Amino acid sequence: MMPLIQASYFAAAILFILGLKAMSSPVTARRGIQWAGAGMLLATLVTFATPGMQSFALMILAMALGGGLAGYLGRVVKMTDMPQMVAIYNGMGGGAAAAIAALEFSRGHVQGFTVTLLAVLGALIGSVAFSGSCVAFAKLQGIMKKAHRLPAQNAVNLVLALAVLGLAVKLVAGPFPLGRDLALFFVLSLVLGVVLTSPIGGADMPVVISLLNAFTGLAVGFEGYVLGNPALVIAGIVVGASGTLLTQLMAKAMNRPIANVIFTPISGAAQAGEAPIGTMKEASAMDAAAMMRFAQKVIIVPGYGMAVAGAQHKVWEMARLLQEAGIEVKFAIHPVAGRMPGHMNVLLAEAGVPYELIFDLEEINGEFATADVALVIGANDVVNPAARTDKSSPLYGMPILNVDQAQNVIVNKRGKGAGYSGIENTLFYGENTRLLYGSAQQAIAGVIAEIKTLAG
Rounded CA-CA distance 367/363 in Å is 8
Higher pLDDT, 300 or 256: 300
Domain ranges of the chain: 77-263, 285-455
Rounded CA-CA distance 12/234 in Å is 9
Please give the average per-residue pLDDT across 288-300, as a whole number.
Answer: 95
Rounded CA-CA distance 232/18 in Å is 16
pTM to 2 decimal places: 0.79
Beta-bridge partner residues of 434: 410
Higher pLDDT, 81 or 241: 241
Say if residue 15's pLDDT is above 80: yes
Question: What are the tens digits of pLDDT across the range 328-347?
Answer: 999 999 988 887 778 898 88
Task: Evaluate whether 314 touches 307 at the Cβ level (below 8 Å).
Answer: no
Task: Evaluate whether 347 touches 302 at the Cβ level (below 8 Å).
Answer: yes
* pLDDT, averaged across the chain: 86
Question: What are the tens digits of pLDDT across the range 350-398?
Answer: 899 998 999 999 999 999 999 999 999 988 889 999 888 887 777 788 8
Query: What values do phi and psi take at 375, rounded to 5?
Result: -105, 115
CATH no. of 285-455: 3.40.50.1220
pLDDT in the model for residue 333: 94
Say if residue 202's pLDDT is above 80: no
- Catalytic residue annotation: 381
Question: What are the tens digits of pLDDT across the range 263-276?
Answer: 766 555 445 455 56
Question: What are the tens digits of pLDDT across the range 55-80?
Answer: 888 888 988 998 899 889 888 887 77
Q: Over the range 402-411, which residues count as b (16 or more CB within 10 Å of their CB) and which as e?
A: bbbbbebbbb
Task: Evaluate whether 148 touches 139 at the Cβ level (below 8 Å).
Answer: no
Work out the percent of the chain whose per-residue pLDDT is above 90: 41
Of the pLDDT bands very low, low, confident and very high (cuts 50, 70, 90), residue 288 is very high
Please give the average per-residue pLDDT across 44-60, as a whole number.
Answer: 82
What's the burial of 28, exposed, middle or buried (CB within 10 Å: 0-12/13-18/19+)? Answer: middle
CB count within 10 Å of CB 383 equals 25
DSSP state of 427: G
Please give the average per-residue pLDDT across 251-258, as a whole number.
Answer: 77
CA dihedral 326, 327, 333, 337 (to 10 degrees): -120
